[in-house]
Structure 1
């Protein structure tokens, strides 16, 4: 991996809901939009220009080799990486309660409702306003559990419940 200029333990990730890079520390689970203290800003600028410029964005024109497009429905719980969302300032439900809520959505999808229509009002991800659409992404751009489940789907297919550090998801592969 190329040198990022970030302090030890930090990495650059890509927010598909905002289509912007952010900074994440897997050991502390801290995520932030601004580079952490002690960042070598010149090295970071070079890294970002090479790896996160507009030429690499996840728009439809730039879908690229090996990328897929998915929508998801996220239910966060109190142990999620960030237990708050556009729907609730503080999420206090347990993981078990989140899974039960998601099972209800899963039944609605199996009865013919679309994941996207449910996501608009029920997903804890800001991608809800886009019917849960995360755009195109490739390997290494999502949390591993999410990526593994998404790449295992055929277009049109909806996953079972997938657990990540963000919460619990239903994922639908679009393309």
Structure 2
């Protein structure tokens, strides 16, 4: 795949370090990334974000997560596996299994994240600390802000993989 000639205003084209010859798009205002060419709505949102918020930014939140990567993830490797080969469907099956373990009270997100998450936050029980608008990939951020403290999301898909998110503050 050759590099696109240009990106919409507010976006940058970045060469993937994990997938030679592949490029992704970076929203300069939010830091969100995606493989697909930004839609007109996404480009307009990036331009609006670059212009600055119309009102004060929302307060920071804190969350923990359990991430299951798959072979199509942005970086298909982790502290557990140097090369992740599972399919997206297999990753979703794992996330649903972990979700069931949590909802049925056999485990907590923090304990599962410690041993099962493909994110380096596993060493902290999945804790990502505090973050604000624009600090995380958009789907992750939107899901987190919709949660009440203590609530756990359904599976959330990002370029990184599939997440279960628990808002902690």
- Shorter-chain TM-score tier: 0.5 to 0.7
Q: What does residue 61 of structure 2 align with?
A: 68
What secondary structure, in the 3-state scheme, does the structure 1 residue paired with 2:90 have? helix
- Structure 2 residue 143 is matched with structure 1 residue 144: no
Contiguous gaps of at least 5 residues in structure 1? 1-7, 10-24, 32-63
- Structure 2 residue 42 is matched with structure 1 residue 78: no
Contiguous gaps of at least 5 residues in structure 2? 1-5, 19-56
Distance 1:27 1:161 in 2: 27
Q: What does residue 151 of structure 2 align with?
A: 157
Assess, with a 3 A threshold, how the Cα gap between structure 1 residues 157 and 79 changes in structure 2: closer, same or farther: same
Distance 2:85 2:151 in 1: 31
- Deviation at residue 29 of structure 1 after TM alignment: 4.5
TM-score (norm 1): 0.65
- Deviation at residue 28 of structure 1 after TM alignment: 3.7
Distance 1:162 1:28 in 2: 25
Given that 2:156 and 2:164 are in contact with CA atoms closer than 8 Å, whether structure 1 keeps it comes out as yes
Assess, with a 3 A threshold, how the Cα gap between structure 1 residues 148 and 26 changes in structure 2: closer, same or farther: farther
- Structure 2 residue 109 is matched with structure 1 residue 111: no
What secondary structure, in the 3-state scheme, does the structure 1 residue paired with 2:122 have? helix
Q: Which moved more, 1:108-117 or 1:67-76?
A: 108-117
What secondary structure, in the 3-state scheme, does the structure 2 residue paired with 1:82 have? coil
TM-score (norm 2): 0.67
Q: CA RMSD in A?
A: 2.0
